[in-house]
Amino acid sequence: MALDKQSILESTTGGYDVFKHFLGSRIQGTGKAFKSPFYDDTKAACYVYFDKRSRVYKFKDFGNAEYSGDCFFFVGKIFALACEHSQEFLRIMEIIDQELGLGLESNTQKVERVIRDKGEQVIKASKLPSIHGRAPHRAEQPSIQRIDSRSAVGAGAAWPLGTRSP
C-alpha cells in the first residue's frame, strides 16, 4: 500500500480509529457527546458520527462549527496544518501513518520525507564522492601456501577432508 487518503481511510475504519487515537477516553462511541479538545468547552457538544454520503467518520462541534470535518481535518487542526495545502496535507497523512503505526508509507515516500524534512543535510548516495580516491582494482587472490604432508605430520597439521593420516 501507499500513503494516500484512501489507504488511510481503509486502514482506520473510515477514519474512526484516528479519532479514537487522538481523542482517547473522551470518545465513548459514535453519537455520544464530549467536550471539545480545541478550546475550554463548558458543555459537551462534540460528536463523532458516520457520514453516510461520504462513507467516512466525521467530527462535529455544535459549539463552534469551525471545528468540524473528517479525520484529516481533525489532525490538521491539532497540528496547525491545513488540508487545502498539498504539502501540509501530505504531512497530515504522515502524522496519521506514524501515530497509528499503519506502515503505509513506501520506501520512496520515506526517502522523499527525509529529504524534505532534513533539506541540505541529506545527500543521496549516488551523489557522494568516492571514498577510494581512485578506481578500485581487482581484489588480489590470497596466496595459498602449500604444505608438504610428510613434513607436516610431526607438526600436528590438519589433514584435508576425506583423507587419512599415514
Look at the chain and count its residues: 166
pLDDT in tens, 138-163: 555 555 555 554 554 444 555 555 55
Which 8-state DSSP code applies to residue 38?
S
In a domain, 148, yes or no: no
- The pTM score is 0.67
Name 42's Cβ contacts closer than 8 Å, sequence gap at least 6. 35
Task: Decide: 33 and 44 in contact? Cβ < 8 Å.
Answer: yes
3-state DSSP call for residue 58? strand
In a domain, 165, yes or no: no
Average pLDDT, stretch 102-107?
Answer: 83
What is the number of domains present in the chain? 1
Report the alpha-carbon distance of residue 45 to residue 4 in Å, rounded: 31
pLDDT score at 49: 94
CA angle 8, 86, 70 (to 5 degrees): 45
Question: If pLDDT is split at 50, 70 and 90, which confidence band does 92 have?
Answer: very high
Residue 115: give its domain's CATH number.
3.90.580
| Domain carrying residue 44 | 5-123
Average pLDDT, stretch 24-32?
Answer: 84
